[in-house]
Structure 1
Amino acid sequence: MKKKKGRTVLKKKNWRPYAYYGALVVFLLFFTWGFFEVVDALQENEVAAFDTKIIHEVQSWVNEGRTARMVFITDLASVKFLTVATGLIALFLIIRRWYGWALFFLLVNGIGGAFNGFLKEQFKRQRPDILPLIEQGGYSFPSGHSMGSFIFYGALSFMLFRLLKGKWKKVVAAVLAGSMILLVGLTRIYLGVHYPSDVIAGFSIGAAWLFFWIMLFHFSEYRVNRRLSRR
């Protein structure tokens, strides 16, 4: 409330932050629900027909040149690549003295990888044996590449969206990240190392994990700013 030329003017409340944080909560709940829906369908053996149909369709595209490209794309979400990329990006952020962003990026990816390993041990689903084009060890559900790509490229997109100046730069970053996530999921089915339900579950729990950490980041940011304003 403020006074202007002898009359009181009510300052209009900005509802945009509330809408934004509300959307984060909705996305977190939606993707968490989506993951458990896939889990229920898996436990009730309701995904076999769906998985088989999608695998046969995607693997009908197989040819030598396309397979080489698919292997290249899937390697951009491998544990080795994501570990090195996360470390280099965090180092760059530290050099720029963006310590909060560096910590966020390390934690969301590092703990996320461990979380995927935990989930795989809980479900112990064996990998498909329909025309595997590469060798892949470990359990199948949820897809680590799909979950890892959503966390890594999603977190990178969120970070660039906050740090970059210019609307189109932000849009391009988001579109490239989204395209990369979808392509990685497709490669896992094409290469015969995951069921489609593994990929959907990986995307769902990866998204839920990412939105949880984004909310945690904003909460930490708020606490730090509030502490600084009191000094």
Structure 2
Amino acid sequence: MNRKNWRAYTYYGLLITFLIFFTWGFFEVVDALQENEVAAFDAAIIQEVQSWVNEGRTARMVFITDLASVTFLTAATILIGAYLVIRKRYGWAVFFVLVNGLGGAFNGFLKELFKRQRPDILPLIEQGGYSFPSGHSMGSFIFYGALSFMLFRLLKGKWKKTIAAICAGTMILLVGLTRIYLGVHYPSDVLAGFSIGAAWLFFCIMLFHFGEYRINRRLSR
């Protein structure tokens, strides 16, 4: 096996490993929720995070959480997709729009499936709908994760790629934290949102690579 093939197999092996790991993580949270084993975990984290509440911090938390709202993510996805089309990056445009659009629909399906009510411990903002898994957490992982993956592939320079990955990871974690701070999600909702969002993202990345491989193989004939 040459070095190029070895690197490709290693990369795909990691993608499959991450997909299995995060899918397993989601079902572990689901199992704990159904067995009523998350109450102490949720209560302890909520108590700690909401001890930080003050007016100035709350305003910043609302601003951050809005960067993962349905309205913001939908608008940003459309704008980025349109930009990619203008730049004739059609494959990337399809990937980015579908991974986010179908990911949002998937979250809606899961919320209707589990029908968990939102916490009523010091909610700082109004938020309707069901609680599990957190749509903001899942949506932020998919959107910022997909954006980071795309930039990692398209940007030149190791530092640019690293900065994009760090910014995306930081944003994802901050969004999850805001959902607990604002009192609209249990920590287990956030953890489940991250897990299933990551699983969906890695699944879509694998499909993207498969499509890329098929197209390149067809063009090389």
Tell me if TM exceeds 0.5. yes
| Equivalent residues in 2 for 1:22-61, closer than 5 Å | 22-61=13-52
In the other structure, the counterpart of 2:159 is 168
* CA-CA distance at 1:140 after TM superposition: 0.1
Aligned mates of 2:101, 2:7 — CA distance in 1: 31
Query: Can you list the C-alpha shifts for 1:18-66, whole angstroms capped at 9, x where unaligned?
Result: 1000000000000000000000000000000100110010000000000
| Residue correspondences, number | 220
| Aligned equivalents of 1:37, 1:102: Cα separation in 2 | 33
Matches within 5 A, 1:120-131: 120-131=111-122
**Which runs of no fewer than 5 residues in structure 2 stay unpaired?**
none
Q: Is 1:221–2:212 an aligned residue pair?
A: yes
Out of 114, 121, 126, the position equivalent to 1:135 is: 126
The corresponding residue for 1:179 is 170
For structure 1, the 5+ residue unaligned runs are 1-10
* Distance in 2 of aligned mates of 1:159 and 1:221: 14
Deviations 1:70-102 (A, max 9, x none): 000000000000000000000000000000000
Structure 1 runs of 4+ aligned residues shifted over 6 Å read: none
Instruction: Note the C-alpha offset of 1:13.
Output: 4.0
Q: Distance in 2 between matches of 1:155 and 1:208?
A: 12
Give the C-alpha shift of residue 12 in structure 1.
3.9
Instruction: Tell me what 1:208 maps to.
Output: 199
Output the CA distance in 1 between the equivalents of 2:47 and 2:123: 12
d(CA) in 1 for partners of 2:205, 2:113: 26
- 1:83-122 paired onto structure 2 within 5 Å: 83-122=74-113
Partner-residue secondary structure (3-state), 1:60: helix
Code of the residue aligned with 2:70 in structure 1: it is V
Taking the aligned partners of 2:44 and 2:14, their CA distance within structure 1 comes to: 34
Task: Identify which of 63, 82, 96 aligns with 2:73.
Answer: 82
TM-score by length of 2: 0.99
RMSD: 0.7
Percent sequence identity is 84
